[in-house]
Amino acid sequence: MTGGLRLEAPAGVAPRRTRAERLALAADLRRVVADGDVLSDDVELEVYGYDASFMAQLAPSVPDVAIVARSEADVVAVMRYAAANGVPVTPRGAASGCAGGCVAMHGGIVLAMNAMNRVLDVDAPNGQVTVEPGVVHARLIEVLAPHGLLFPPDPGSSRMATVGGMASTNAHGVRAVKYGPTGAWVLGLHVVLPDGTLIETGSVGSRAKQSSAGLELTKLFVGAEGTLGVVTRLRLKLLPRPKARALVIAMFDVLERAGEAVQAVFRAGISPSAIEILDARSLRAANLYRPGLGLREAEAMLLFEVDGNPAGVRWDAETVVEAVRELATHVEWSDQEAQIARLWEARSVIGAAVGVLRPGSARAYAGEDICVPVDRIPEALRAIQDLSARHGIPVATYGHIGGGSLHPALLVDGRQRDDVRRAIELADAIHLLALDLGGTVTGEHGVGAARAMYMPREHGPALDTMRAIKRALDPTGIMNPATIFPEDVPPTPALDVTLVPGGR
Ligand SMILES: Cc1cc2nc3c(=O)[nH]c(=O)nc-3n(C[C@H](O)[C@H](O)[C@H](O)COP(=O)(O)OP(=O)(O)OC[C@H]3O[C@@H](n4cnc5c(N)ncnc54)[C@H](O)[C@@H]3O)c2cc1C
């Protein structure tokens, strides 16, 4: 198996088209949606060949045609055409995904959902909002703020990610430890099925905040990564915005003590809204990138955020400080918004900052999203450091330690073929480590094409149940065909590394 990929296209999905066939496809589609919304120019299509994944950087895959959807009617028309003609369709939000999920590896149509970006209805009395899928997360938060309402999921990609992409990957974020993933906040969806049928999940026309009526179809489409249909509308549950928050920052000279500190805080009866970890390399990167931060150097730093009412927040913060005092080398807290923002900045710059650790290299999103049991985090962090040394690829690790989610940032010099090979092998080793520790290869970013090869080991016979659901809804396999299921992922020529998942 090369890069976990196979050679022939799966049944039901047409092979890549010639130029003449691509132009004919575009001409056909111009009769289905508005002329200007069908992109077939080679240069325009280049843009649609990527997401943030290392896989797509190495082997971008340009679609035959891209369509900018403007309405549900557009999506229905495109899916009807695609179903009738056996053309693969790959939905795409902001392409901030890290697993190649929105990349059309079989060609066909990329269906860009980001122009469907209206907030349709803020229903404050019923604590919900109805939106189109292309609304960017940060904008939704801004629109809700004057109403005193909050949509709690909060990915680090808030300024890029669309809510449709978030629901489709069941995105988490720093506050998932208290508020859960995106899926916990989706009350209902409009979905266009692969045959072009439009359905509404969560009861037709409902404004109820709970329901026990029938199979939970909403949950089925959340996290399906566009493999079962196209999300065209979302009804999202909201919370009143917490009135206050505080941040506790704690430094550790021994990784294991950082792990113990998390347990100590839970034992003290506190449910922080975020618990983040930055390892020594991440701290160094943050200081080099933004010297004004003046972070102490340590084996690890933990950030605990607590939120709620002002008196409760103060009590919670003081209790966190007491719980970790014996374990940490330094601990402090603040409920001053300017100071909190400064401390959070250290966390928010990490993604960009890690590049400074190795001039000439860039951060590769590969093996970047494992999740392990919370009590095995110190073990995982040490093992990642060992693997980094063994493969000769520097890694800075940070993540949502409260939920066990870790983001190893691999620093790769893409100009060096050997560096790329070692990075792919290291990412594979990190994925296998997560499975060995009783975790998952993806805590929040999703499977896409990049992690499909691990699904048989991760799910066992349950993967066949997923396949059966996929076949029932998408019998000809046109809906985002190179995602989740390993047998559907085509070969990627640039990845000439032999990986044997589960073989070691
Ligand atoms: C710097 C950075 C920080 C990040 N931080 C986080 C984080 O904290 N938490 C987290 O969970 N993720 C994070 N991510 C990953 C990424 O932002 C999320 O996966 C996000 O939810 C993807 O949204 P998107 O709109 O970019 O989707 P895309 O990347 O465009 O698509 C992702 C998947 O969803 C499908 N899809 C998109 N829209 C639709 C639709 N309307 N209907 C059906 N399927 C659809 C696509 O086909 C694809 O399979 C981060 C990424 C980056 C680059």
pLDDT score at 3:
38
Domain total of the chain: 4
Residue 157 Cα to ligand 1 midpoint, Å, equals 8
Instruction: Give the pLDDT of residue 5.
Output: 33
User: Same domain, yes or no, for 384 and 413?
Assistant: yes
* Distance from Cα 164 to the centre of ligand 1, integer Å: 8
**499 in a domain, yes or no?**
no
CA–CA separation, 408 and 388 (whole Å)? 10
DSSP-derived secondary structure letter, 362: E
Same domain, 207 and 261: no
Over the chain (504 residues), what is each successive 10-residue block's mean pLDDT? 38 72 97 97 94 93 97 98 98 98 97 98 98 98 98 95 98 96 98 98 97 97 98 98 96 93 96 96 92 90 96 97 97 93 86 88 95 93 96 95 95 91 96 98 97 97 98 98 93 58 38
CATH number, domain containing residue 36: 3.30.43.10
* Nearest to 147, CA basis, from 236, 233, 239: 239
Question: Domain containing 36: what range?
Answer: 19-114+464-488
- What CATH number is associated with residue 251? 3.30.70.2190
Q: Which residues pair with 363 in a beta bridge?
A: 411
Residue that finishes a domain, picked among 353, 376, 411:
353
Last residue of a domain, one of 222, 240, 258: 240
Please check whether residue 428 lies inside any domain of the structure: yes
Q: What is the CATH number of the domain that holds 407?
A: 3.30.70.2740
Same domain? For 86 and 110 the reply is: yes
Per-residue model confidence (pLDDT) at position 503:
35
Which residue's CA is the closest to the ligand 1 atom numbered 44? 226
Choice from 157, 170, 232 to test ligand 1 binding pocket (greatest atom count within 8 A of CB) = 157
What whole-number distance in Å separates Cα of residue 270 and Cα of residue 314? 12
pLDDT of residue 490: 84
Residue 401 in domain? yes
Domain annotation covers residue 207: yes
Q: How many CB atoms neighbour CB 292 within 10 A?
A: 7
Q: Are residues 421 and 313 in the same domain?
A: no
Ligand 1 pocket test: pick from 48, 163, 169 the residue with the most ligand atoms within 8 Å of its Cβ.
169
Closest ligand 1 atom to 97 CA: 29
Nearest atom within ligand 1 for CA of residue 225: 49
d(CA 208, CA 60): 43
Asked if the structure places residue 494 within a domain, the reply is no
Residue 500 belongs to a domain:
no
DSSP 192-236: E-TTS-EEESSSTT---S----SS-HHHHHTTSTTSS-EEEEEEE
- pTM metric for this prediction: 0.95
Tell me how far apart the alpha carbons of residues 149 and 391 are, in angstroms, rounded to a whole number: 47
CB atoms closer than 10 angstroms to residue 231: 29
